Structure 1
């Protein structure tokens, strides 16, 4: 277990180690490396901006943020982000973590694919969002220090991440495509099933049961 990467200490409390064990058991190498990169990218961004945030809460948020894609934690009818958030909440409740801290982690995970909102929330929420955006889509790539970025990738390699993450998303929620209505993950469904049509917001308004 690495103790420090890119100047960021990897949390090593019992809670942190238990959270890591859950991801190792139910995730895979793709999610393990991605989740740790997300944590480190977010933590470095927080350090650069001199933000006050809880490193351990950010770590747990990062480790759980994609657990909703796994068979163990995937529900039949909820967004995968909510599945991961619910899993993190249940996990943290076992450690007598304050309700406010649990809410922060839940929000961070549930909102990690919601641009326009997550970045305006509390530091832990915004930093997780920034870490996800950098690792998945390259958001903020040019502003992130090259040496720190390379140190993070060396510790947690990308290993063909661009090509593998989209199928991983699809496998995580292909059984419930309707949960992608109104969010960016609908693009993943359409990537594999171009014929798929989700609900249309305007259609929902025009065909609502209201008489006028």
Structure 2
């Protein structure tokens, strides 16, 4: 039987189970619990707003959204969001999922930290971004009741999440801080890398090789 938390069904199709197994194999409890909370918060918001979305694709997007932080999927030179999106694409292609669904999941994962843009993508991408923002920084916190939050956190505990997730982010891209340029992840490099100074776009413009 599929699991239901806060009246939200966690997808239990073969594809969903295989995606969950992949995260279980390569992630840890921190990412497992976070990714499932992201799905549940996202689905709750979708139901509350009476939005049409594909629960299976939303769930798989949620499971893969931080997989690019893990040793098995992190690249030497790409943003971790792209690493996770590429992993999701490879996973779905290997199972014959239609290209339109693959593109949707890729966008949801790759854009999940790109505020101001992802909110206007397809419902699955926008909802997952909501779930990430809700779980990581408490954005729109009062939108979900204390009782619903309790049910979700009881099922997938936070366990000092706000402290541990920053270190997990850093571990995922400390070898490639240049990939955080222009993103919120540069804040994490500044926190953990002694002497790190983020690149400045104005500096790049004013010191480009153009002569004027």
| Shorter-chain TM-score tier | over 0.9
Stretches of structure 1 lacking an aligned partner (at least 5 in a row): none
How much is the aligned-residue C-alpha RMSD, in angstroms? 1.1
Across the two proteins, how many residue pairs are aligned to each other?
Answer: 212
Aligned residue in 1 for 2:201: 201
Deviation at 1:204, TM superposition (A): 1.0
Deviation at 1:206, TM superposition (A): 1.2
Residues of 2 paired with 1:98 and 1:112: CA distance? 21
Aligned residue in 2 for 1:40: 40
**Runs of 4+ deviating beyond 3 Å:** none
Aligned residue in 2 for 1:8: 8
Aligned residue in 2 for 1:151: 151
Residues of 1 paired with 2:147 and 2:198: CA distance? 43
* Residues 1-212 of structure 1: pairs in structure 2 closer than 5 A: 3-212=3-212
Kept after mapping to 1: 8 A contact 2:2/2:12? no
Deviation at 1:194, TM superposition (A): 4.5
Stretches of structure 2 lacking an aligned partner (at least 5 in a row): none
Deviation at 1:2, TM superposition (A): 5.8
TM-score by length of 1: 0.97
Deviation at 1:198, TM superposition (A): 2.8
Between stretches 23-32 and 94-103, larger displacement belongs to 94-103
TM-score by length of 2: 0.97
